């Protein structure tokens, strides 16, 4: 069984590993090459620990991390599941937890940015009632450089 709970400091190294793997699965080839090059495992291990309060994790009985979400205000910022958990329904449970967090923070509508070419993620969000509200050039800083990621803005009412 897998359970979802708020992240703890001890989870964040595994979150960084999963984030690194999933980021490249979903983004490589769909964002500027310089951004892909800057998204190293080391970079994820640097940026992840301070994000513990934003994060909910899905952990299997054996303690292995199966997925995570990060929420900031009304933005569902990250939704990632391990390769072995894709297609299992776990991502749906994590997305529901992210939507619950946005609503609990007092927002009626949640939003997220998804890279245009990340077809699997876009299909997943649309299946869960998220609506495509158009182009969103998303500015990202990485490795001391600034990049623009071609994204779409999706929204959903959460309460
Ligand atoms: C995005 C993610 C969380 C979705 O979770 P998941 O368990 O893979 O999602 P599901 O399998 O339930 O749904 C994916 C949908 O895309 C479809 N799909 C699979 N591969 C696809 C592809 N290459 N192109 C288009 N659609 C695809 C699936 O058939 C399914 O649609 P369906 O329900 O109509 O059959 C997960 O794939 C993931 O962690 N990816 C890597 C990280 C990432 O990109 N995160 C999102 C950042 S915004």
* Cβ atoms of 2 and 58 closer than 8 Å: yes
**What is the Cα–Cα distance from 92 to 120, expressed in whole angstroms?**
13
Domain-by-domain residue ranges, the chain? 2-157
Q: Would you say the pTM of this structure is higher than 0.95?
A: yes
pLDDT tens-digit map of 4-60: 999 999 999 999 999 999 999 999 999 999 999 999 999 999 999 999 999 999 999
pLDDT tens-digit map of 104-130: 999 999 999 999 999 999 999 999 999
- For residue 131, list its beta bridge partners: 155
Q: Which of 16, 123, 128 to mutate to test the pocket of ligand 1 (most atoms within 8 A of CB)?
A: 123
Rg (CA), the chain: 15
Distance 21 CA to ligand 1 centre (A): 15
Topology of 2-157 in CATH? Answer: Aminopeptidase (3.40.630)
């Amino acid at each position: 069984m897998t359970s979802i709970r708020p992240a703890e400091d001890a989870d964040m190294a595994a979150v960084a590993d999963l984030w690194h793997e999933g980021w490249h699965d979903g983004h490589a080839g769909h964002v500027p090459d310089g951004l892909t090059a800057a998204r190293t495992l080391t970079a994820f291990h640097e940026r992840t620990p301070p994000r513990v309060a934003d994060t909910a994790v899905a952990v299997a009985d054996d303690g292995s991390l199966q997925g995570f979400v990060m929420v900031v205000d009304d933005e569902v910022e990250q939704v990632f599941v391990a390769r072995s958990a894709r297609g299992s329904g776990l991502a749906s449970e994590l997305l529901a937890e992210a939507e619950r967090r946005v609503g609990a923070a007092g927002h009626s509508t949640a939003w997220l940015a998804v890279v245009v070419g990340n077809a699997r993620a876009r299909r997943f969000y649309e299946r869960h009632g998220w609506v495509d509200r158009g182009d969103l050039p998303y500015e990202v800083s990485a490795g001391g450089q600034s990049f623009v990621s071609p994204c779409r803005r999706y929204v959903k009412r959460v309460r």
